Amino acid sequence: MNKLTPGHCDLDYFPTVDGCLQIGGTSLQQLAERMGNTPFYAYDRKIIEKRILSLREKLPSAIKLHYAVKANPMPELVHFLAQQIDGLDIASQGELRVALEASMPSQHISFTGPGKGMDELKMAIEAGVTLNLESETEMLRVAKLAETTGVKPRVTVRINPDFELKSSGLRMGGGPKQFGIDAELVPGLLQKLADLDLDFLGFHIFSGSQSLRAEAIIEAQNETLELAIRLAEFAPSPVQLLNLGGGFGIPYFPGDLPLGLSPIGENLERLCEKAKTTLPEATLSLELGRYLVGEAGIYVCRVIDKKISRGQVFLITDGGLHQHLAASGNFGQVIRKNYPVVIGNKMASKEKEVVSIVGRLCTPLDLLADKMELAKAEVGDLVVILQSGAYGLTASPTAFLSHPTPKEILV
Ligand SMILES: *Cc1c(COP(=O)(O)O)cnc(C)c1O
């Protein structure tokens, strides 16, 4: 069990041997030597595998599991995931390449996101990927492109629902949004779609992200199915795909508790039953990002200086916000809170100290841990930021200050 700062829930994914954190069966120190250099990101296959198994166990087998590649697009990791899940959701041409190289059959890849470019749309249509239409303009563009590609585009309509996932970290639906088509406009859009040479497959409804409350997710999923049933009446053909969104969160901050899957699974069981009669041809899916990979990853940097400024201890590391923006509190957080952090080579240390951990950038925003009680650390020790498998490296401004980009490893 990792002893984290007071308030963080216990995270016991990574065992400790002789006071050193272990990842993928090796000690952190050995791994750091193998990597040649800090900082780096490491992702543990076993933890991802276990997470998928627990989802398969607790959710109905009829529910397909998709991975939202933007959470972590490392090609090796996506390839590993592709062998265990049912589909990949992508949001750019670059992610499309990663998904195709991961050998995911194109009919199980769906392309979401506002403002898709013409070249992206063309490549996706030719590859046979399902396009989640984000606007009427996009629908017309896709229909036009199809005239030259000779492939009938597979499309679903992304709906901006008239509800939102309550108490979620990031609201992606409800109210005015740049995502999807307002639910009330969908019947009219479907009428136009019927006249175009498009293969209509169904709906994509994503109402929010990073929720740790099962009841909120259940409520959103119930409303999602209701909305899909209502709108299916206006569809040119039976709904074959219904993407229920995701929103499953992971505990990052003091006070956060892990999401309980069982009630969500029980409710989905009921929804699957209901869908059997109301949307008999529909395959239901969930698209998860951080829930699949977030807890399997760590970010590791090294203490390169230690100083005391007017009584406050600073550990200065070779990492920083340019490599882990989210841990610095600048990736969508309203109030800065500490990620779970440990001194990875001093897990058993009894000697503690309250420290602030900073990076090497010349900005006070570059704070990786603010006044946390941790094992007393010195120059050379390894700082580990847990819960870093999603929205880490690729969600960070790595070009800022022109330091080298850290390596990543799947262990
Ligand atoms: C980002 C995103 C996801 C994944 O979100 P997580 O919070 O990582 O689970 C899923 N679907 C869509 C449409 C997204 O934009």
Give residue 170's pLDDT: 61
Ligand 1 contacts CB of residue 390 (under 6 A): yes
- CA 193, distance to chain mean position in Å, is 31
Ordered by where they begin, the domains of the chain are 16-44+294-410 (2.40.37.10), 73-288 (3.20.20.10)
Q: Which two tokens stand for residue 66?
A: 């998709």
Cα 170 versus chain centre, distance: 12
Q: Which of the 8 DSSP states describes residue 87?
A: E
Q: 268 in helix, strand or coil? A: helix
Whole-number pLDDT of residue 1? 47
When computed from its CA atoms, the radius of gyration of the chain, rounded to whole angstroms, is 23
How far, in Å, CA of 395 to CA of 69, rounded? Answer: 12
Structure token digits, residue 42: 């490491």
For residues 224 and 183, is the Cβ–Cβ distance under 8 A?
A: no
CA of 288 to the centre of ligand 1 (A): 6
Give the side-chain half-sphere CA count within 13 A for 228.
33
Q: Is the CB of residue 286 below 6 angstroms from any atom belonging to ligand 1?
A: no
Indicate if ligand 1 lies below 6 Å from the C-beta of 388.
no
Please tell me if the CB atom of residue 291 comes closer than 6 angstroms to any atom of ligand 1: yes
Structure tokens at 79: 């390839």
What is the C-alpha to C-alpha distance for residues 204 and 181, in angstroms, rounded to an integer? 10
Q: How far is the CA of 247 from the centre of ligand 1 (A)?
A: 7
* pLDDT tens by residue, the chain, 411 residues: 455 677 899 888 999 999 999 999 999 999 999 999 999 999 999 999 999 999 999 999 999 999 999 999 999 999 999 999 999 999 999 999 999 999 999 999 999 999 999 999 999 999 999 999 999 999 999 999 999 998 999 999 999 999 888 866 665 566 899 999 999 999 999 999 999 999 999 999 998 999 999 999 999 999 999 999 999 999 999 999 999 999 999 999 999 999 999 999 999 999 999 999 999 999 999 999 999 999 999 999 999 999 999 999 999 999 999 999 999 999 999 999 999 999 999 999 999 999 999 999 999 999 999 999 999 999 999 999 999 999 999 999 999 999 999 999 999
Residue nearest to atom 5 of ligand 1 (CA): 289
Those residues with Cβ within 8 angstroms of residue 116's Cβ, 6 or more apart along the chain or in another chain: 124, 131, 134, 138
Residue 293: CB within 6 Å of ligand 1? no
**Per-residue pLDDT at 6:** 72
Task: Tell me what pLDDT residue 166 has.
Answer: 80
- The amino acid occupying position 161 is P
Tell me if the bond preceding 39 is cis, omega within 30° of 0: yes
- Tell whether ligand 1 has an atom less than 6 A from the beta carbon of residue 288: yes
Which of 244, 287, 387 to mutate for ligand 1's pocket (most ligand atoms within 8 Å of CB)? Answer: 287
